[in-house]
Chains A and B, each alone.
Chain A
C-alpha cells in the first residue's frame, strides 16, 4: 500500500524517512477506520479506505466488525522471519515447524513463557505453543536523525530499491552513507548537507546508514528457548551520537528533550525512555533505540543496554488483543425459560442468572407470608459425600457436631476457615451411616468442592465426593400452604422441621429438605436437572387456586432479613467470626477438633470489637452500606436494609464497632435507629416449624 501511495506522489504520513521494512512509524495510515496501520505491511486492494492518520486517531466506527479470531496451534519449532536464514532454520529444524513471514503479513507480535508465540496474520490471530523459537527477523536500516528528517523524499536504501523495482522513478536521487548534518527543504527535501558539510541539491535522498538487528522479540524471549539467526544476530554497532533533530518520530522526542531529562538526572536507558516516552510509540524503538544508546554512550554511560521489550511489538486492535478471550460464563438453571415466561427480570448473581423480580412484587412477598410461593434455588451448592471416613471428615470440616445426626436429620452449619472466619453456611443432611448430602450457598458453591477435597486429602481420609450443584435442580416451596401444595403433589408425610425425606412430588423423585430461610414453612425439593421444568409447571398449576405466585431474589432478601438471617458475603465480612456474627452456638468448642477451632479459642479471649446486630427504624430503608452514626461519630455500617411490609417498619442488619458500649443514640440517613433483637419477625420460629 505504501508503494501504491508513493506511486501517486502521496507520502503516507506527509513526511519522514520511508523504510518499507515495518521498522519506522513514517508510513502509518488509517485503513478502513483502523489507525496505526503500517501501509508498507499491508497489501493494497481495491475498495480499501485509506486516510491520513491524525494526532488523535478516531476509534473504529461501530458498524465494522471488531472481533478477531484466535487459532491455537502446536509445533516443535516456530521460526519468525522467512528471509534466507529463516528459511534455512525452518528447513533444518527437527520436528514440526510453523513459520511466520512478514512479507505475507504474518507478524509475530509477542513471545511469552511456554514458549508461546502470538502472531497477527491476515487470517486472524494465531497462538503457537512450541518447544523452541527461532528469531530470524533480520535487521532494520538505520534512520537519519538530524534537522529536516521529517521531510518528504527521504528513503532508506532498501526502500529505494523496492520503489525502483516497482517502476517508480526517484529522479535525481542522491545517496549518502553517513548520518547527514541536516536536510533542507519545505515539505519536500531540496538538499542534504552531509557530515562533511557538503550541500547537495536533490529532491530525493537515499540513506544507506547501516543495519541494526531487529532484536525486539529476542529481548522479549529472555530466559526462554529462543535462538537467533541471520542478521537479527548481528552485533549492534552504535551510530554517531545524535546532536540535533527528532530522535523518536513516534513520540516526537528531540535531542534537546533528551538533554533536558539528562540534566534532570534521568541518566539510564529505562529512565530516559520513561521520562521522554522515546521508544514507547508506534515503532517500539525501531527508529530511536540505536540513537538513544549512542546518546548515552557519548554521555559516558558504558554499554547502555537496550530497554526491555514487552509484548506487543506491533499495534493491535482491541479485537486482536481480545481474540480468544471469553467473558466468564453465567450459568442458567433449568428453569431459566420458565422465569422468562413468567415475565421475570433476570439478573446475574454470583455465577448464575437468577430471577430478581417477577411482574408483581407485592404478590411475590405476600404469597410467601400468607399463601404459598415457589422459588428457584437450583443455584445452591449441593454435594453428595460418602465413605468409611465421611463422619471423621465432616467433624473436621464443620464447627458443629455431625456424628450425632440421625439418618433423615438436617442441621444448619457454618463453614469456617483456619482463621475462624465464616466462609460459608449451609445444611448437612444425613442419608445413612456413611452417606451425607451437603448444601452450600450459591456463592460458596464454586469453592466448596475445592475446600472439601483439599481437606479430605490433607487428612488423608477415605471418602467419595460428588459435586451435584449443576446436576440437580432445587425448588423451594414456601408459605403457610406449602404442605397443602405438597399433598396435592402426592406427599402425604412431608418431613418435619430439620428433617429430609426422599419422595416423589408429581411423579418427580425429590429429596425434600425442610428448613426455612423465608420464615414460613419451607420445603426444598432437590431433583434431577432434567425434571425441573416438569416439576415447576406441575407445582405452578396445582398451586394456582391456593394463590401461589413465584418469588425472586429481591423478595427473598426482604423475607430473610425479617427473619434476621445473614447472607455470607453480604452481611458477613472477610473476618467475621461466629462470635462477631452472634452465632457462637454454631461452633461447638467442646469438639476435639475442627478447622478454625484454635483460632476461635484464641480470638474468643480478645475483646469483642465489632458485632453484627439487628436494627430497626421508621420510614423507608436507607441504602445498604449506609453509615451508622452516634451523634457525629461513625460507629458502624448497615449491610442489609429493607422496609418490612408485614412489620410496617424498616429492618436492618449492620455492624457496630465496640466503642459505644451500648448502642444508644444511633442514627442513620439522618433518622434515629433502634437496636432490635432479631429475628424481627416470628422470633420464636413458630411459623417456620408449623
Chain B
C-alpha cells in the first residue's frame, strides 16, 4: 500500500492520486529532433529515486511534486 502526502490535504492512499511523469531527457542526446522524440516516447523507468508529479484526484485536485524511491515506494 503506497501512501502519498498531499501538501494540501494530508496523507492518503495512492488510489486517491493520479500519476504524472516528468520527462527526463538524457544529456547525451543533443540533436533537437532526437530530444523531442525522446521526450515524447521514451520512458526512463528509473530504478531508485524518481521525481514525479501526482494529482490529488479525490481531494483538492491540485498537482504536487514528490521524490519517490521506486525500489521501496518510500517518499524521500
Residues of A that sit less than 8 Å from B by CB: 112-114, 116, 129, 223, 418-419, 449-450, 453-454, 457, 467, 598-599, 602
Contacts and interface: CB of A to CB of B under 8 A. Distances in A.
Contacts of B7: none
Given A113-B2, A113-B73, A454 B20 contact: yes
A599 B37 CA distance: 8
B36 A114 contact: no
Contact of B1 (A116, A223, A418, A467): A116
A113 B2 CA distance: 6
Given A599-B36, A599-B40, A454 B62 contact: no
Contact of A457 (B33, B39, B63): B63
A467 to B, nearest CB: 7
Interface string B12-48: 0000001010000000000001001001110000000
Nearest to B39: A418
Contacts of A114: 1, 3
Given A113-B3, A602-B36, 14 more contacts: A112-B1, A113-B72, A114-B3, A116-B1, A223-B72, A418-B40, A419-B40, A450-B20, A450-B55, A450-B57, A453-B61, A454-B20, A454-B53, A598-B36
Contacts of A449: 61
Contacts, number: 36
A599 B35 CA distance: 11
Nearest to B22: A458
A112 B73 CA distance: 11
Nearest to B65: A457
Contacts of B55: 450, 453-454
A223 B73 CA distance: 11
A114 to B, nearest CB: 5
Contact of A453 (B40, B63, B72): B63
Contacts of B61: 449, 453, 467
Contacts of B62: 453
Nearest to B20: A454
Interface residues of B, number: 18
A162 B76 CA distance: 50
Nearest to A449: B61
Contacts of A454: 20, 53, 55, 63
A113 B63 contact: no
Contacts of B41: 419
B66 to A, nearest CB: 15
A376 B53 CA distance: 35
A113 B1 contact: yes
6 contacts: A113-B3, A113-B72, A450-B55, A450-B57, A453-B62, A599-B40
A113 B41 CA distance: 31
B27 to A, nearest CB: 19
A190 B15 CA distance: 58
A359 to B, nearest CB: 37
Nearest to B41: A419
A266 B57 CA distance: 47
A116 B41 CA distance: 36
Contacts of A467: 61
- The 7 A-B pairs at the shortest CB distance, nearest first, are namely A112-B1, A419-B40, A116-B1, A450-B55, A598-B36, A113-B73, A114-B1
A279 to B, nearest CB: 25
A18 to B, nearest CB: 35
A418 B18 CA distance: 19
A419 B38 CA distance: 10
A116 B53 CA distance: 24
Contacts of B33: 602
Contacts of A113: 1-3, 72-73
Contacts of B53: 454
A226 to B, nearest CB: 14
Contacts of B57: 450
Contacts of A450: 18, 20, 55, 57, 63
Contacts of A419: 40-41
A354 B36 CA distance: 40
Contacts of B20: 450, 454
A449 B18 CA distance: 12
A223 B61 CA distance: 32
Nearest to B53: A454
A598 B31 CA distance: 13
B38 to A, nearest CB: 11
Contacts of B63: 450, 453-454, 457
A599 B33 CA distance: 9
Nearest to A421: B40
A88 B63 CA distance: 44
B14 to A, nearest CB: 10
A331 to B, nearest CB: 14
Contacts of B1: 112-114, 116
A457 B65 CA distance: 11
A516 to B, nearest CB: 32
A390 B2 CA distance: 36
A449 B55 CA distance: 10
Nearest to A326: B15
Contacts of A599: 36, 40
B50 to A, nearest CB: 16
A602 B34 CA distance: 11
A114 B74 CA distance: 9
Nearest to A446: B57
Nearest to A127: B1
B20 to A, nearest CB: 6
Contacts of A602: 33, 36
Contacts of A129: 3
